[in-house]
Structure formats: structure tokens, C-alpha cells
């Protein structure tokens, strides 16, 4: 019975669904940030101490802000003590003393339920990741690294949940949000590696293409980090500066670095497409063409945000495309061999 269940075809399906679901969660997480709903639930894993969050402030005690602030600060004190043991004194001080950490938001039913839906999706993905790990053992005969990667994704997803609790506990402290997002990108990369490795897909033997892909992918990682830094500034402006039209003047040098750096990525992706035009694998050519199109679109999204006051609907799309571009780069890297 177990042998019938552990079939390769089921793994492919679950793995593909899991990749798509993680990308969807990244999109939903961006909606949470753009809408200012990150602290819609002030505790974790419950929401206002309940498995089903309240729909009215009347369901909460009159001093609920003080109650949940004190709980968060107690948790932060314990967290800071751990960081002090490992020598991260500045981070420990920031966790316990940053004024932004001490602020407790008022109850807002819309923001609460946006954050709650985000958490529910995270639970669903947890079960998908578990299924991905269990089914990966059907591929032990092909490569023992595939189930090991499945275990790694499962462990990282659990760790990601814990990091999510820190994001809430520290009132969306920017460094934890950046780490939270980059960890999600790492999980996607490992899932894609499992997919490509398990299917035994044909590979392209092209030394030049191999190095251009590798170089562009390495270049793209700082671009993701620059983007998260810009998002951190935007998050602060969301709370302090209501008028979105003036935000571009407040973003600082990191915004201009992020904007200019995108041209390097476009050049790299254009060269990948140009080199891949004569590749025999049709899906490889399609993905290389899609890569260039998505980079052009994400640059237009960036222009649109800067010119039109960072419309809330455009920011999640910008992030989704950013992670999707990275995913395609990883996929094409895995489909390319270094021919000596």
C-alpha cells in the first residue's frame, strides 16, 4: 500500500503545487505588508489569543494593547538574551529598545483577517511541504539527495514559521522581514532543484551560457536584497508619510542603486536569451524568452511605482515577478551543463 502511494508521479504533482503555493504565499505576504496588516494579529501562532480571530474590538479586553505589548516584550527580552550570548549586542539592543518595536497597533478587523488568511495559507503550505518530503522518498533509488532536500525544505519551513513569529514579536523589525523573505526564496530554489533532479530532464551543454547564467544569478541576489531594503523604507513611509506622491524623494540612495542595478540584470538576461535561441530544447528557449519579458515588465512596474505614488496593487506584483525571475534563473542554471 505504501509502495503504491510513494509513486514518482505523485511527487511531481505535489512538488509543483508546493512551488506554486510558496510563490502565492510570497504574493499574499506582500499584500500583508502593503496593506499594513503585518501586526493585524499581535501574537503567534494564535490571533488575539484565539484560533479564529475576533470580528469586533468589543470582543477584546479594554486593555488589549497593553496585554499584547507586554507579552511581545517578554518574548523579545528572551530573544535578545540569546543574541547577546552570540555577541550580537547591537541587534539585541534594537530588539528591546527600538521605539518602533514598542508601538502596539489598534485593532482593525480588515487587517486582522488579511494577516489571518496569510497564516492559514502558511498552514496549508506546511502540509504540502510535509507531503513533498514523504513522497520524495520514492526517489531514493534515483538520488539520495532528493529526499535529503525534502527533509531540508521541511526543516526550513518550520524555521520559517519561527522567524515569522519573530517578525510579529519585534513589530515587523526590518531585518527580520528581509531574512524572512530571503528564506522563502531559498525554499523555492531547493524545491525547484528537487523538481529538475527528479525528472531527469535533458540539459544544455554550453560553456558560455553556463557562465552567463551563473554570473547573472549571482548578480541577481544583491538585487533582491536591495529590493527588500527599498521595501523597508516604503514600510516606514506607510506609517509616517500618508501622501504617497512624495515617497520617491524619501527613499534615499538605495532606491537609485536598485533602479540602476536592474539594467545589469536586463543585459545578462538578454544575453541568456540570445545565446539560447539555437538550443534544441523548446522549453528552455521559452523560459529564456520569458525571463527577458519578465525583467522588462518588472522594470516598468518600478517606473510605475515611482511615477504614480507606489500604488498598493503594483507592489505585490513587483515582488512576485522578482521571485519568479529568480526561480527561472535557478531552473535554467539546473538545465545547463558546463561543457569543457
Kindly report, residue by residue over 135-178, the tens digit of the pLDDT: 999 888 888 999 999 999 999 999 988 888 777 777 667 677 77
Residues 1, 119, single domain; the answer is yes
The CATH number linked to 318 is: 1.20.120
Collapsing DSSP to helix, strand or coil, 103 comes out as: coil
What is the C-alpha to C-alpha distance for residues 182 and 187, in angstroms, rounded to an integer? 9
CA distances from 63 to 47, 69, 168 (A): 16, 10, 19
pLDDT at 286 over 90: yes
Co-location of 4 and 139 in the same domain:
yes
Q: What is the DSSP string of 19-79?
A: HHHHHHHHHHHHHHHHTT-TTSSSSSSSBTTBSS--SSGGGS-TTHHHHHHHHHHHHHHHH
Is the domain of 243 the same as that of 278?
A: yes
Residue 124 sits in the same domain as residue 226? no
Same domain, 184 and 101: yes
Whether 103 and 228 map to the same domain: the answer is no
CA distance 121 to 335: 31
Q: Rounded CA gap, 98 and 175, in Å? A: 13
Separation CA 28–CA 294 (nearest Å):
20
The conformation of residue 138, written as its DSSP 8-state character, comes to G
pLDDT band at 93 (very low <50, low <70, confident <90, very high): confident
> Pick from 200, 234, 263: which residue ends a domain?
200
pLDDT at residue 38, as a whole number:
77
d(CA 6, CA 9): 9
Residues 124 and 218 in one domain: no
> What is the pLDDT at residue 213?
94
SS3 state of residue 101: helix
Examine the domain organization and report whether 47 and 188 are in the same domain.
yes
The total of structural domains in the chain comes to 2
Same domain, 176 and 267: no
How many DSSP H helices and E strands does the chain contain?
Answer: 12, 2
C-alpha cell at 302: 518600478
Could you give the CA distance from residue 149 to residue 187 in angstroms, rounded to a whole number? 10
What's the mean pLDDT in 122-128?
Answer: 93
Give the residue from 139, 149, 193 showing the smallest Cα distance to 11: 139
What is the C-alpha to C-alpha distance for residues 276 and 278, in angstroms, rounded to an integer?
A: 6
Residues 225 and 332 in one domain: yes
**132 shares a domain with 16:** yes
Is it the case that residue 187 has pLDDT exceeding 80?
A: yes
Domain span at residue 77?
1-200
Q: Which of 143, 174, 200 is the last residue of a domain?
A: 200
Contact 141, 158 (CB under 8 A): no
**Which pLDDT score, from 0 to 100, does residue 142 have?**
84
Residues 179 and 74 in one domain: yes
Q: Which of 173, 200, 227 is the last residue of a domain?
A: 200
Instruction: Name 91's Cβ contacts closer than 8 Å, sequence gap at least 6.
Output: 80, 83, 175
In DSSP terms, which residues pair with 205 in a beta bridge? 337
In this predicted structure, what is the pLDDT of residue 23? 93
- pLDDT score for 194: 95
Amino acid at each position: 500500500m505504501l509502495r503504491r502511494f510513494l509513486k514518482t508521479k505523485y511527487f511531481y504533482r505535489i512538488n509543483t503545487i508546493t512551488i506554486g503555493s510558496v510563490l502565492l504565499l510570497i504574493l499574499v505576504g506582500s499584500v500583508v505588508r502593503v496593506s499594513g496588516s503585518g501586526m493585524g494579529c499581535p501574537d503567534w501562532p494564535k490571533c488575539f489569543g484565539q484560533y479564529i480571530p475576533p470580528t469586533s474590538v468589543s470582543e477584546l479586553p479594554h486593555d488589549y494593547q497593553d496585554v499584547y505589548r507586554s507579552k511581545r516584550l517578554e518574548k523579545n527580552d528572551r530573544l535578545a538574551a540569546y543574541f547577546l550570548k552570540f555577541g550580537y549586542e547591537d541587534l539585541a539592543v534594537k530588539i528591546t529598545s527600538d521605539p518602533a518595536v514598542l508601538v502596539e497597533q489598534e485593532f482593525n478587523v480588515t487587517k486582522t483577517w488579511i494577516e489571518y488568511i496569510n497564516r492559514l495559507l502558511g498552514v496549508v503550505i506546511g502540509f504540502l511541504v510535509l507531503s513533498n518530503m514523504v513522497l520524495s522518498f520514492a526517489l531514493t533509488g534515483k538520488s539520495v539527495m532528493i529526499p535529503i532536500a525534502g527533509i531540508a525544505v521541511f526543516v526550513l519551513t518550520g524555521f520559517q514559521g519561527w522567524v515569522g513569529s519573530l517578525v510579529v514579536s519585534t513589530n515587523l523589525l526590518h531585518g527580520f522581514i528581509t531574512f524572512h523573505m530571503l528564506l522563502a526564496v531559498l525554499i523555492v530554489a531547493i524545491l525547484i532543484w528537487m523538481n529538475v533532479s527528479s525528472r531527469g530532464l535533458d540539459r544544455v551543454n554550453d560553456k558560455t551560457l553556463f557562465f552567463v547564467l551563473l554570473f547573472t544569478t549571482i548578480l541577481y541576489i544583491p538585487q533582491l536584497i536591495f529590493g527588500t531594503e527599498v521595501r523597508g523604507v516604503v514600510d516606514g513611509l506607510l506609517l509616517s508619510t500618508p501622501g504617497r506622491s512624495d515617497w520617491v524623494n524619501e527613499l534615499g540612495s538605495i532606491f537609485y542603486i536598485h533602479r540602476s542595478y536592474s539594467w545589469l540584470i536586463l543585459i545578462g538576461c538578454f544575453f541568456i536569451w540570445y545565446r539560447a535561441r539555437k538550443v534544441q530544447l523548446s522549453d528552455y528557449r521559452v523560459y529564456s524568452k520569458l525571463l527577458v519579458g519578465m525583467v522588462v515588465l518588472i522594470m516598468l512596474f518600478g517606473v510605475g511605482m515611482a511615477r504614480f505614488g507606489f500604488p498598493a496593487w503594483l507592489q505585490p506584483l513587483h515582488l512576485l515577478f522578482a521571485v519568479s525571475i529568480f526561480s527561472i534563473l535557478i531552473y535554467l542554471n539546473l538545465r545547463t551543463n558546463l561543457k569543457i
